[in-house]
Structure 1
């Protein structure tokens, strides 16, 4: 695949684009989101924070679609020089690529940490490198191969997730969510920030829109891609708080897994569901890792107008080294918080500025 043009054969449908966004967003965040939000807000009303965050993400995604629709058939890395000039475009591109690399490394490290539940005693490097090489094979197939795999992974994830959540309803206590807004609106606003990393994913439209067969439906793909994860995160937070209470989950590293551990169903093939859910969710983490690895490699190839494949290989050791920088799980979570803060400005503010500049300078075509 060349970095100069987007192959006509390597295209994706509207539904595949939505699925790609969904799989990107449904990464490691669901395993920790209830704890991080409750730690920040100290209230069971964090489900309201998720609704507010989802609305903000939809607005940010709409801005990205409007921007990319002015340069149909081009990714962010291709049309940036036309808006800002080459020097500024290179700076922004490097920031975006660095972000994708960091998210890719973060997800692969989380995969190693959660992998200890299933592969106790296995060295983290063995877990990480196995998934990285499998991901490499997939990425070399291009965006269409990625999207086809995601179409297989997503239904499996949703089915097992819904089964696990429904079974956990036996320990659900609605009183753990009361009173609504008992501490006012301020704690709810504090709960918005921790959810930002979990909602990252809409920014992949900066790349994916260029490969859509019907780019006029990009907004529909983005809305569907954001809405499904918002609903899933909302259900997860409500069920975890209802099952464990806010006092019971603040000190839990993986509260969603602990919820699955809190009950068992006798007579079924799987009497305990946390291992099954973790296996399924590792596929989602793998999805986030591959799509961000792909986006970072594509960014380098299009920046330097070079072939795509060498950059895919070159990014492997970089991602591995970044993933191994945090010394413990607390540093990993701190790194995640930092990425969430960066994403607010990088994908919330910068695309809006670029959209205004492109309109003022009359760059790109007006979307139909």
Structure 2
């Protein structure tokens, strides 16, 4: 189960698949509610587009930094730029972030599953089952994870887009008007929650080291963010257009509520929410798996521990305890907001600082 790095290389397309799978996790179920509350006007979709462009710029800075240190993860090359002590502090912060993200995603998955599919099933039981399935998958290494992601992603995108577009019977274009009726300021207020929904690009800090052709990491980042932006945009437009701005603000899971609010007679499935839930559980599971893997790689590279399986299993109790810490859905969302804020500092500001430092101190080679 030890991963042999030369054999563990991934293609540019596989890097795109990892980014999209990571990004389209629990956030898409709550994105319409959080952004609508912040914006307060039907211009939510503009905030999503602007956030996508901003994150693409941040992502390109991040992969530019990674390409200066070919074959090394952020946990390895930070030491060369900042020195050991600062590298350990930053590395531990990133490991903690990835671990808590894994716990948060698995808790959201348990909450949604418990509410809609497995009523009266204890949260701890759902969390434990998915954790053990996850450890089985990541034990195979990155190449095995990517192969599973390549199966999950096309199915998810096909069914999700089909279900969202089927809701056009409820869609009213009037719910998206007027455009910029209150000016640009509401749109700017929606940037923060929109940016938080794009967390996922930071996975390139780890997987750029495993790419067959690191020169194409910019391309992978751009395509990954473009696909995610299109999915977010379709979701926001259809949910706001169908449920209206006021209808969204009071709903916990507006995307699911939209799919539950219509049925089509004569098809094999007349109601679609169970199908969407099954697909989206796989998607949230993907995010849990890749973040657990990134945390394990971080511990291995930062502390120079050889045995990856031991690290993976050692993280399980921390993920389990963190997943069960929130007492209710509101506390789970508060944890998600905290993670989103942390991601801004760790993966939006930090890459630029490290890139500038590496240029000033002449650390790292030319682009791979």
TM range (shorter): over 0.9
Alpha-carbon distance between aligned partners in 2 of 1:2 and 1:119, rounded to the nearest angstrom: 36
Match of 2:11 in 1: 13
Alpha-carbon distance between aligned partners in 2 of 1:211 and 1:158, rounded to the nearest angstrom: 25
Match of 1:339 in 2: 339
Match of 1:118 in 2: 117
Match of 1:300 in 2: 299
| Deviant stretches of 4+, over 6 Å | none
The number of equivalent residue pairs is: 366
Alpha-carbon distance between aligned partners in 2 of 1:53 and 1:360, rounded to the nearest angstrom: 29
Alpha-carbon shift at residue 2 of structure 1 (Å): 6.0
Alpha-carbon shift at residue 324 of structure 1 (Å): 0.9
Kindly report which structure 2 residues correspond to 1:180-329, keeping only aligned pairs within 5 A, or say none.
180-306=179-305, 307-329=307-329
Q: Judge conservation of contact 2:138–2:145 (CA < 8 Å) in 1.
A: yes
Name which of 45, 52, 55 aligns with 1:54: 52
Name which of 78, 81, 88 aligns with 1:80: 78
Match of 1:22 in 2: 20
Alpha-carbon distance between aligned partners in 2 of 1:350 and 1:207, rounded to the nearest angstrom: 15
Alpha-carbon distance between aligned partners in 1 of 2:196 and 2:338, rounded to the nearest angstrom: 9
Q: Judge conservation of contact 1:27–1:198 (CA < 8 Å) in 2.
A: no
Q: For 1:196, what is the secondary structure of its paired residue?
A: helix
Cα deviation per residue 1:270-311 (whole Å; 9 max; x = unaligned)? Answer: 111111111101111000000000000110111111121111
Match of 1:367 in 2: 367
Unaligned runs of 5+ in 2: none
Q: For 1:11, what is the secondary structure of its paired residue?
A: coil
Name which of 76, 97, 100 aligns with 1:99: 97
Alpha-carbon distance between aligned partners in 2 of 1:102 and 1:312, rounded to the nearest angstrom: 14
Match of 1:166 in 2: 165
Superposed CA RMSD:
1.1
Cα deviation per residue 1:175-202 (whole Å; 9 max; x = unaligned)? Answer: 0000001111111111111123321010
Q: When the two structures are superposed, what TM-score results if normalisation uses the length of structure 1? A: 0.98
Q: For 1:8, what is the secondary structure of its paired residue?
A: helix
Q: Judge conservation of contact 2:165–2:238 (CA < 8 Å) in 1.
A: no
Alpha-carbon distance between aligned partners in 2 of 1:316 and 1:24, rounded to the nearest angstrom: 19
Cα deviation per residue 1:181-230 (whole Å; 9 max; x = unaligned)? Answer: 11111111111111233210100000000000111111111111111011
Q: Judge conservation of contact 1:33–1:195 (CA < 8 Å) in 2.
A: yes
Cα deviation per residue 1:99-134 (whole Å; 9 max; x = unaligned)? Answer: 111111110000010002111111111111111000
Say if 2:155 is the partner of 1:156.
yes
Unaligned runs of 5+ in 1: none
Cα deviation per residue 1:10-31 (whole Å; 9 max; x = unaligned)? Answer: 1111100000000000001111
Q: Which moved more, 1:135-144 or 1:192-201?
A: 192-201
Q: Judge conservation of contact 1:2–1:301 (CA < 8 Å) in 2.
A: no
Name which of 3, 18, 35 aligns with 1:37: 35
